Amino acid sequence: MALMFDLSKNCNFKIILPSNQKFIELFTTETSIPGITIGSMDLNYQSMTRKMPGNSISFEEITLTLLIDKELQTYLELISILNLTHNVLTNTYQTNQEIFDAYMLITTPKNNPLFQLHFYDAWIETFSSISMQTTSGDDNPYNMTLGVKYNFYTIETA
């Protein structure tokens, strides 16, 4: 008998990965809006060195703690994205790199949209192991952490 539960009942964040092959909606229990680092440069002026804003900007990786269903369908879909670019059995990389635009939807506790973050040219970089617990009943979902890199992002009100 399969256990059924609503993955969205405890989530105020969703990440949407519209890859070339699939449209995957992930339920996130923990994440953050990524930080931005502006580079600096030294400007020598007479006998002192001044710091000035540089010409580079970098964005932190998105780290997501995801809810995984008991049948591991979400995990298997993520693995299928990985298999589009990497052959795990032969440890080879294929040139059709799976780069996509990802969207994070931040919602109210009643699941009404507040903000949408649009991550451009994103790819999955890390998969964690799946955390499984049975401490407070049979309806506990599994958890895993996903790391996503991208080139830049924008924030829009929903």
Q: What is the domain-level CATH number for residue 153?
A: 2.30.110.20
Q: Answer yes or no: is 3 within a domain.
A: no
Whole-angstrom distance, CA of residue 131 vs CA of residue 27? 15
Q: Answer yes or no: is 1 within a domain.
A: no
Range of the domain at 65: 9-157
Q: Answer yes or no: is 149 within a domain.
A: yes
pTM: 0.76
Q: Answer yes or no: is 153 within a domain.
A: yes
What domain count does the chain have?
1
Q: Containing H/E element for 80? A: helix 73-85
Q: 């539960």: which residue's tokens?
A: 5
- pLDDT tens per residue, range 86-142: 766 777 766 555 678 888 888 887 778 888 999 998 888 888 998 887 765 666 778
DSSP code for 139: T
Q: Answer yes or no: is 4 within a domain.
A: no
